[in-house]
Structure 1
Amino acid sequence: MCSSTETEAGAGAGAGAGAGAGAEATQDSNRTARERNLENWLPVTASRKANWWYSAFHNVTAMVGAGVLGLPFAMSELGWVPGMGILALSWVVTLYSLWQLVELHECEPGKRFDRYPELGEHAFGKKKGYWIVMPQQLIVQVATDIVYMVTGGNSLKKFFELVFPSAGSIRKTYFITIFGGLQLLLSQAPNFNSLRGVSLLAALMSVSYSSIAFIASAIKGSQNHRPVQYGIRATTTAGTIFDIFNGMGTIAFAFAGHSVVLEIQATIPSTPEKPSSKPMWKGVVVAYLIVAFCYFTVSVAGFWAFGIGVDDDVLVTLSRPAWLIAAANLMVFIHVVGSYQVFAMPVFDMIESYLVKDLGCTPGLTLRIIARSAYVILTGFIGICIPFFGGLLGFFGGLVFASTSYFLPCIMWLILKKPKRWSFHWIACWFSIVFGNLIMILAPIGGMRQIIISAKDYKFFS
């Protein structure tokens, strides 16, 4: 599959895959035939046939994921006012930073920054920019896929426990393995647009199970015969501080979609008359309205119904009516099946580009099967080893999600656009940078503590 000398990178491999390449004529004219063939084969740039509604459901699939189910738990760590404040502020800040990425996608005439690291190279310099952005984006995507492995296994196990009570004795490990096996098959989809059916189904499922969590929690809250305790769940000062940190990270995790925004926009055709930013932004606005509905309704209803007694996955706390909660858990499973792939596709693109460009491997089916299967198996193994949902949300949410979603786009905007001091964009950028850095510094501390507490009673491969 690989040779010691560099092979021709996919000559003819992208036949028929470069539809819409005329729109990229200026950019392509500066590339060699080998580079164009590779771009037409890599999963992010192989097809540029998407529309604004592709942007909408891809962004919903990327954004409304496992994180929404942890928001009531975050509220129990933060309390009503701080919890709602941080959630609302995060929604506004991340919508602003997402707009910046959409606008920066074609900030240079005739050139498209189809991948997050490419924009980083343009902003920070060739070598420095790549190593600033690439590790952060990669950690976000790999961490999300690990959490989705856990979420998929948890949800499938919960579904079977509710529908077939005798399945309660089956280990969670087996359900995570089933989820991983399904990902091994789906991972062979050739490019981003070939996942449009899976992503659309996943987006519909995310809205559906969020609605179920909201409605079921609201019904439960209205039927509570005993008073529900609100406030915060910790009883000590140290516990309160750590819980606040973890709650901030959990909210940050819910806004993880920025790491795939440029890659989603890369699938939309672009001309000087009709730049890709217009349909992309239209889809983003629709997606963010859906995000607002899902996040705020689930957060308020889940915390109102259960108070500080809510679990780190609100669907675990809900148990009645059994058939409805079983359906919601099945919807979560279907959603994370698609969402896993949306986050994995840029990773596949990165891996395959490295194997072809740097190691001289020949692009083709064999390369994809081996590279992508290895990635799925790795994320599945890690998920089996550390299936601590609440702690993972807080730890990863703060560690890198805050950077890629909250303030890294703002830093690049300051460098590339150079807004006037004390102008709206200058103030908005610096506010987002400070807010995001606070989350990045504090949240991993709370998330790690949560993982350590959960690990005390955990047996590997249980």
Structure 2
Amino acid sequence: MGSHIEAQGNDVYSSKFDDDGHSKRTGTWVTASAHIVTAVIGSGVLSLAWAVAQLGWIAGPSILLVFSVITLFTSFLLTDCYRYPDPVYGTRNHTYKAMVKNILGGIQYQFCALAQYTNLVGTGIGYTITASISMVAIKRSNCFHKYGHQVECQVSNGPYMVLFAVTQILISQIPDFHELSALSIIAAVMSFGYSSIAIGLSIAKIAGENHGMAKTSLTGVIVGEDVTSQEKLWNSFQAIGNIAFAYCFSQVIVEIQNTLKSSPPENGAMKKATTAACSITTMFYILCGLLGYSAFGNKAPGNFFTGFGFYEPYWLVDIGNAFVVVHLVGAYQVFTQPVFQLVESWAGERWPQSKFTTKEYRVGIPMVGTYRFNGFRMIWRTAYVIFTTVLATMFPFFNGVVGLLGAFSFWPLTVHFPIELYLVRTKVPKFSLLWIGVKLLSAFCFIVTLVAAVGSIIGIVTDLKTYHPFK
């Protein structure tokens, strides 16, 4: 009788929980591919027309495809490391950092954490810049419509960065990340919305009465006519960084794979999801990049919606920019919450007896409910948002910052760690053909990262010569 009850208990346990004690996962390759697409298609698409214009009809699409194939390949390597040591029956790695810690350990884990959190902080700064210039673009678009395109309609970014920061300070006081799930869904819808508007406006411009007037070339912007030879070189490097930023989604692969149900095996389902998502994403990127270049030619703006290649219909341009702002309000929180949690967990462990760091006070808010207030959380999160806003105000250069973020995150998070994880897990012999091949791939991507970083830094330095912060 006792053994029968025990058997029943095990059946109930297995029906509600997975092998690691977590609640039963229900994700499929379809839901996983949807998560990847919504995580990837973001503000990076806004710079792709400019990036293709710097590189031309041959190098532009080629680099887009090369980055797509490399990202797909290294994502496959990551999916096989979700369970360790066996890819089907091994112990789960719930996060990217946990995977690096469990398989590589030591200095590699510290390097991974540094790369991840640098990227998270940088992305918050980049999103503050992008959101503010989209808000400025709405104001300027209405000004152009009212007074004509010949009017300068100058508007300062500063007040709009402050507005975005105030919004983020308020939202960041929500104590639990899962309470932001609705905001994340809205953000995903917005990203599809403005990407689709950008594609639609490009097609309309190509098909319009000015068709044929946009000058393009096989090698992109022309030296001596559009840019100097030095500008051509640095802009091309920066464009590579912009494309790399658009493909930096490997760091969320592990977390998404952790939502999949155990059967069929997670690595097989995840490979299917990654293939589908990467194909959809690449199609979107090629449409945005190539149609944007066709529409604007070598004069393609750095940002689809804020460079004013599109003036009319002004209301649709406004909607596109509004979608960008709403998306980035949610996206900022998605990328910032891990930074919040890191510092708050550290403070709780460092001062466990301090009421300031650990105690929560329940405050009733009419028509909202009960808010859990914590002094450390309020001050730390507010200070962090102010910090990213100040840096964004000092360096409000969309393409340069996006390129730099892409350069810093692509090689370590998308290429280096997936390759090293796979080599250790599969015990690939040193100097075997496979070992040499993936090491050469990593070295190539490292060089590309350095080139993109140099181009982006020079672009930022050049912009700083004519920009005065806080004025």
TM-score above 0.5: yes
Call closer, same or farther: CA 1:419–1:48 in 2, change over 3 Å: same
Instruction: Assess if the C-alpha contact under 8 Å between 2:100 and 2:417 holds in 1.
Output: no
4+ residue segments displaced more than 6 Å = 47-50, 420-425
Q: CA deviation at 1:222?
A: 2.9
Residue 153 of structure 2 is aligned to residue 144 of structure 1: no
Call closer, same or farther: CA 1:239–1:162 in 2, change over 3 Å: closer
Q: Supply the distance in 1 between the matched residues of 2:124 and 2:233 (Cα, whole angstroms).
A: 28
The residue that corresponds to 1:113 in the other structure is 93
Q: Which one of 172, 177, 182 corresponds to residue 162 of structure 2?
A: 177
Residue 211 of structure 2 is aligned to residue 216 of structure 1: no
Q: CA deviation at 1:359?
A: 4.6
The residue that corresponds to 1:12 in the other structure is none
Residue 74 of structure 2 is aligned to residue 97 of structure 1: yes
The residue that corresponds to 1:123 in the other structure is 103
Residue 79 of structure 2 is aligned to residue 79 of structure 1: no
Q: Supply the distance in 2 between the matched residues of 1:312 and 1:431 (Cα, whole angstroms).
A: 32
Q: Supply the distance in 2 between the matched residues of 1:352 and 1:290 (Cα, whole angstroms).
A: 37
Length, aligned pairs only: 422
Call closer, same or farther: CA 1:276–1:89 in 2, change over 3 Å: same
Structure 1 vs Structure 2 CA RMSD: 3.0
Residue 48 of structure 2 is aligned to residue 66 of structure 1: no
The residue that corresponds to 1:309 in the other structure is 299
Q: Supply the distance in 1 between the matched residues of 2:442 and 2:336 (Cα, whole angstroms).
A: 27
Instruction: Assess if the C-alpha contact under 8 Å between 1:58 and 1:200 holds in 2.
Output: no
Instruction: Assess if the C-alpha contact under 8 Å between 1:207 and 1:294 holds in 2.
Output: no
Residue 220 of structure 2 is aligned to residue 232 of structure 1: yes
Residue 22 of structure 2 is aligned to residue 23 of structure 1: no
Q: Supply the distance in 2 between the matched residues of 1:229 and 1:78 (Cα, whole angstroms).
A: 11
Instruction: Assess if the C-alpha contact under 8 Å between 2:25 and 2:261 holds in 1.
Output: no
Q: CA deviation at 1:422?
A: 9.3
Call closer, same or farther: CA 1:193–1:417 in 2, change over 3 Å: farther
Q: Supply the distance in 2 between the matched residues of 1:195 and 1:330 (Cα, whole angstroms).
A: 20
Q: CA deviation at 1:427?
A: 7.0
SS at structure 1 position matched to 2:301: coil
SS at structure 1 position matched to 2:83: coil
Q: Supply the distance in 2 between the matched residues of 1:193 and 1:107 (Cα, whole angstroms).
A: 28
Q: CA deviation at 1:182?
A: 1.9
Residue 377 of structure 2 is aligned to residue 385 of structure 1: no
Name the TM-score, length of structure 2 as normaliser.
Answer: 0.80
Task: Note the alpha carbon deviations across 1:168-197, whole angstroms, 9 max, x for none.
Answer: 554211111222222223324445543332
Call closer, same or farther: CA 1:344–1:227 in 2, change over 3 Å: closer
Q: CA deviation at 1:256?
A: 2.0
The answer for unaligned runs of 5 or more in structure 2 is: 1-14, 148-152, 361-372
Instruction: Assess if the C-alpha contact under 8 Å between 2:401 and 2:460 holds in 1.
Output: yes
Instruction: Assess if the C-alpha contact under 8 Å between 1:140 and 1:256 holds in 2.
Output: no
Q: Which one of 398, 403, 411 corresponds to residue 407 of structure 2?
A: 398
The answer for unaligned runs of 5 or more in structure 1 is: 1-19, 29-46
Call closer, same or farther: CA 1:227–1:246 in 2, change over 3 Å: closer
The residue that corresponds to 1:15 in the other structure is none
The residue that corresponds to 1:9 in the other structure is none
Q: CA deviation at 1:60?
A: 2.8
Q: Which one of 321, 330, 338 corresponds to residue 338 of structure 1?
A: 330
Q: CA deviation at 1:421?
A: 7.7
Q: CA deviation at 1:429?
A: 3.2
Call closer, same or farther: CA 1:314–1:425 in 2, change over 3 Å: farther
Task: Note the alpha carbon deviations across 1:90-146, whole angstroms, 9 max, x for none.
Answer: 111112222332332222456332332222222322x31321200011111111111
The residue that corresponds to 1:205 in the other structure is 190
Give the counterpart letter for 1:173 in structure 2.
G
Give the counterpart letter for 1:107 in structure 2.
Y
Q: Which one of 422, 425, 430 corresponds to residue 416 of structure 1?
A: 425
Give the counterpart letter for 1:159 in structure 2.
I
The residue that corresponds to 2:277 in the other structure is 287
The residue that corresponds to 1:296 in the other structure is 286
Instruction: Assess if the C-alpha contact under 8 Å between 2:20 and 2:92 holds in 1.
Output: no
Q: Supply the distance in 2 between the matched residues of 1:137 and 1:459 (Cα, whole angstroms).
A: 30
Instruction: Assess if the C-alpha contact under 8 Å between 1:391 and 1:448 holds in 2.
Output: yes
Instruction: Assess if the C-alpha contact under 8 Å between 1:51 and 1:279 holds in 2.
Output: no
Deviates more, 1:335-344 or 1:182-191: 182-191
